[in-house]
Amino acid sequence: MISPKQAVEFATKRFPKAPEELAAHLGISIRESSMDGCDGWCLTNGKQVIIRLNTSLSPTRKRFTLAHELGHLILGIPAIVGESYEDMLASDSDEERRVNELASALLIPKDVAKASLSELPVVAAALMKLAKKANVSQLMAAIRVCNLASEIGLQNASVVLFDGSQVRWQWSKTLTMPNETAADLLVESRKAVPQAFRRRRPQGDVIVASTIENPYFGSATLFVQLLPEEIGLNISHHEKRKQLELTLFSHDVKLQQRMSGYIGALKNRIEGKTQKQVEADFWTRYRETLKNTAMDSNTGQAYVRLRISEWF
């Protein structure tokens, strides 16, 4: 077996396919079958190690389960038979927490998280982007970032999962709050969309709260962070972009689709150019066709500038 440190190094090199490739590297067979009330387990059959996954799981949940079972094997902590996703995530057992810590490092290595969240505060859109890049659930990405809080520059952080408006559980060893406070932050963060909600505290820091909505399951994931005032009050790139999109496209979805086509086409032609040149190219090419639309404005120009800046 490989050491936890080696496993994390492997994951950093192989992101985002580390769990699958690590299993192959270690000669572990992955099998799928239908299971009732259990997401996965591992067993050693003589020399052969087999990880069995519930075939009906969503792809991201399957990957988490695979990483979790690898965590058990690598740390030498016996797996609990019949574990479900909820059992794994919400467990208070110290051993399960260690397993999850390693599993999440395999899915989202620290360096990847740091590079992807260089801008603070961390808002829902940034967590969703990280989740997509890492091919994990949005909840998983939020939990990982919460665990890395101090290492990415947050004073503290917590993730709260809601069923409707009820707190299901809070994930943080270091930042806990009464359920009423969490519920209040959920309401406030929804009102503040497209921005995150900010609340200054007398201690001189700022609470920033942002929500990932999951209407399909009637649930929501609230990400709460504590930041020094000068950082907490900073409006992030994601917030600016959402604000501009709301102003420009809330009454014109077709314009947003057209813009996404134009900007996408531009991306293939940026090599060797400066940001300013790309911006000028955009307007040379599309000024005429965008005349008399919402894009024909200072807000439109700011939006193009912001989108192009994402490539530099």
Q: Three-state secondary structure along 59-78? A: HHHHHHHHHHHHHHHHHCCC
- Residue (84 or 155) nearer to Zn ion, CB: 84
Tokens encoding 85: 């996703």
> Closest separation between CB of residue 200 and Zn ion, Å?
40
Closest CA to 42 of 31, 51, 30, 33: 51
Q: Cα-flanking dihedrals φ and ψ of residue 22, to 5°? A: -65, -40
User: Which positions from 66 to 105 touch Zn ion by CB under 5 A, shown as an x/- string?
Assistant: -----------------x----------------------
- Residue (83 or 279) nearer to Zn ion, CB: 83
Tokens encoding 258: 């057209």
Helix (H/G/I), strand (E/B), else coil: 158 = strand
Interacting residues of 223 by C-beta distance below 8 A, sequence separation 6+: 122, 123, 124, 127, 142, 145, 146, 157, 158, 159, 209, 210, 211, 212
User: Which positions from 4 to 43 touch Zn ion by CB under 5 A, shown as an x/- string?
Assistant: ----------------------------------------
Tokens encoding 83: 């574990």
> Closest separation between CB of residue 80 and Zn ion, Å?
5
**101 with 64: CB under 8 angstroms?**
no
> Closest separation between CB of residue 68 and Zn ion, Å?
6
- Residue (83 or 239) nearer to Zn ion, CB: 83
- Residue (83 or 205) nearer to Zn ion, CB: 83
Q: How many residues bind Zn ion (CB under 5 A)?
A: 1
Beta bridge partners of 206: 200, 227
- Residue (42 or 227) nearer to Zn ion, CB: 42
- Residue (95 or 281) nearer to Zn ion, CB: 95
> Closest separation between CB of residue 67 and Zn ion, Å?
11
> Closest separation between CB of residue 88 and Zn ion, Å?
5
> Closest separation between CB of residue 100 and Zn ion, Å?
8
Residues making contact with Zn ion (CB under 5 A):
83
